[in-house]
Structure 1
Amino acid sequence: MSDSADNKALMTKAFDGLAKGDPSHFMPLFSDDIEWQVMGSSAWSKHAKGLEAVERDLVGPLFARFAGPYLTIPELILADGDRVVVLARGDAETVDGKRYDNDYCFIFTLRDGKIVGVREYMDTILADAALGT
């Protein structure tokens, strides 16, 4: 398989799980030196470097806002070498009873089967309104 095919297969398996609320094939893909950028200028727009920062500053606060499982449903997965682009939509309810059904474009960079970079594009106004600032 090519790098593109291998990386697409990894991300497809990860997002198949995320569509069911199961991150068990996604989280292990994070490299210790992962760098995640949530693009935009809202309270949820962040730039975290390193696995600890990603878990502390992005994943932890985000999942603390959900009342139940957060589903990320892929609509399109494209791969080119070490980059995988995923268009997806979210499906969740917040602890405040608000719907959080955002649309995403993720650009993942993989190295040796691990995610080393993420650029995340989403509706940041919706994130602030539904998740708080």
Structure 2
Amino acid sequence: MNFEENTVRYAQISAALSRSRFRSRFRLGLKDRQYICDRGWETMRRHAAELVAERLAPAFIPNDGKQTPMRGHPVFIAQHATACCCRGCLEKWHKIPSGRALTAAEQEYIVGMLLFWMQREMTSPLPGSRR
């Protein structure tokens, strides 16, 4: 499946995540939005793919549950907002089992989920603004 085919699933999971107090508090700030605008979506896709491959894809992650910073890059924020931050959250929210390496299709699914969330965030009002 590709991004377009997963859009319905991304929307369904986003709706469930929006009911989580923890997940729903993550938002892209002005600095994060500017970073995305300056670099573009292809760069964001590449960064997301690299971070997923490096921090989530291995079968064993020594610091699982603590490998994703809470800020510093729009992808990190998206990972927490979408429950793609560690293998435990991937298993709980996305039904992707831990204890084995992620497949290429699973990695692409996660990257798509991150981009889906970031794109929706870019069209929503800034936190604290009135629109």
Q: What TM-score, normalized by structure 2, do the two folds share?
A: 0.27
Structure richer in strand, relative to its length = 1
Higher relative contact order (CA 8 A, sep 6+): 2
Give the structure with the larger helix fraction: 2
Compute the TM-score of the two structures, normalised by the length of structure 1. Answer: 0.27
